Amino acid sequence: MTASIHQIGGNRAPSLQPMLNLVAPGMNRVNAVILDRMQSEIPLIPELAGHLIAGGGKRMRPMLTLACASLLDYPGERHHKLAAAVEFIHTATLLHDDVVDGSEMRRGKTAANLIFGNPAAVLVGDFLFSRSFELMVEDGSLKVLKILSSTSAIIAEGEVNQLTAQRQIATGEEKYLDIIGAKTAALFAAACRIAAVVAERPESDELALDTYGRNLGIAFQLVDDAIDYVSDGVTMGKDIGDDFRDGKVTLPVILAHSRGTAEEKDFWRNAMLGHRVSDADLSYATALLRQHNAIDDTLERARHYGQRAIDALGPFAGGAAKDALVEAVEFAIARAY
């Protein structure tokens, strides 16, 4: 195998299509597992779970598991159930997040908790977590179980850490990166790493794929936090300005606050405390972010982490799988949603 270097950027708009083409047969198997394991004799469970699972998500995390398995030329089928477990973990966290955040939209649809109620959304999230652990146990690998169970705990810690930082304008970049590294990047990393475990590859390959997924996840969240201020609800599939109104101190806010005047710092403090959350306040906040290059610098940081993700693939042989994984990074950074 020869190392290669790929720089982010190009004339063609990046797409997930190469990855979709690569993993299409495997994703059919994964989706069959998801459909089977979300069933229950209690009708509300598949109805509520199906509302979110069938809601048009990109399925990026399970696709990463399949694409990494393809990169390693894994010929077996264990990764199908494990990719489904990864998607169940992700879906469970979304259900819980929407309850915590009081979200009104998810994937362009009314959030499940608004339709079915908060208690049902939390409990069905718990059900999906349980299904994910059933799939891990069925796989039979203690190493896989350790990776995914630890990741589930890390995600929960990240969400609690975010909750404690909510409305705290003094939150710094280091804590912010700790939060997104746990609540978002950890599952990207685990989704990639388990492919090397089932393929029985050396730990160096595990760590390389972990590094790829972790940096991709950080880049993905940085972009999400930037476009929360500059995209629109239809494109994002959720309400624009949700982070602003929820008092989430994300990197764009951290940068704009640190670079602002005393008057602007006072605005950000009041906004994060929930005292300045009108549409006019959101427009003013967005103007401040642009004035201080906070959006551009957040996206530049995303490109930095994206490049680190691509660099982690250097030791692996070239081919369709590697190309798809590289383009997935470029898509995550360039996407409009």
* pLDDT of 5 higher than 70: no
Give the pLDDT mean for 42-68: 90
Cα–Cα distance, 20 to 33 (Å, whole number) = 18
Q: Which residue has the tokens 């394991």?
A: 37
The string of pLDDT tens digits covering residues 193-238 is 999 999 999 999 999 999 999 999 999 999 999 999 987 654 555 5
User: What per-residue confidence (pLDDT) applies to 336?
Assistant: 47
Percent of the chain scored above 70 by pLDDT? 92
Mean of pLDDT over the chain? 92
* pLDDT of 46 higher than 80: yes
Give the pLDDT mean for 260-284: 96
User: What per-residue confidence (pLDDT) applies to 56?
Assistant: 61
Structure tokens at 113: 């908790």
**pTM of the shown model:** 0.93
Residues 6+ apart with CB under 8 A from 184: 158, 217, 218, 220, 221
Q: Which of 257, 210, 214, 221 is nearest to 97 (CA)?
A: 221
User: What per-residue confidence (pLDDT) applies to 165?
Assistant: 95
User: What per-residue confidence (pLDDT) applies to 13?
Assistant: 85
Cα–Cα distance, 305 to 153 (Å, whole number) = 24
Angle between helices 262-272 and 279-291 (to 10 degrees): 130
User: What per-residue confidence (pLDDT) applies to 105?
Assistant: 77
Q: What is the CA radius of gyration of the chain?
A: 20
The string of pLDDT tens digits covering residues 111-168 is 899 999 999 999 999 999 999 999 999 999 999 999 999 999 999 999 999 999 999 9
Judging by DSSP bridges, how do beta strands 105-106 and 109-110 pair with one another? antiparallel
State whether the Cα torsion 253-258-261-262 is positive or negative.
positive
Give the pLDDT mean for 179-202: 98
Q: What angle do CA 323, 19, 29 make, to 5 degrees?
A: 140
User: What per-residue confidence (pLDDT) applies to 1?
Assistant: 35
Q: Which of 189, 192, 240, 258 is nearest to 218 (CA)?
A: 189
The string of pLDDT tens digits covering residues 276-325 is 999 999 999 999 999 999 999 999 999 999 999 999 999 999 999 999 99
Cα–Cα distance, 300 to 275 (Å, whole number) = 30
User: What per-residue confidence (pLDDT) applies to 9?
Assistant: 58
Give the pLDDT mean for 45-65: 88
User: What per-residue confidence (pLDDT) applies to 110?
Assistant: 87
In single-letter form, the type of residue at position 261 comes to T
Q: What is the DSSP string of 165-207?
A: HTT-TT--HHHHHHHHIIIIIHHHHHHHHHHHHHTT--HHHHH
Q: Is 105 helix (H, G, I), strand (E, B) or coil?
A: strand
User: What per-residue confidence (pLDDT) applies to 3?
Assistant: 39
3-state secondary structure 125-164: HHHHHHHHHHHHHHHCCHHHHHHHHHHHHHHHHHHHHHHH
User: What per-residue confidence (pLDDT) applies to 189?
Assistant: 98
Rounded to 5 degrees, φ, ψ at 110 are -60, 135
244 near 229, Cβ under 8 Å?
yes
Q: Which residue has the tokens 């994703």?
A: 27
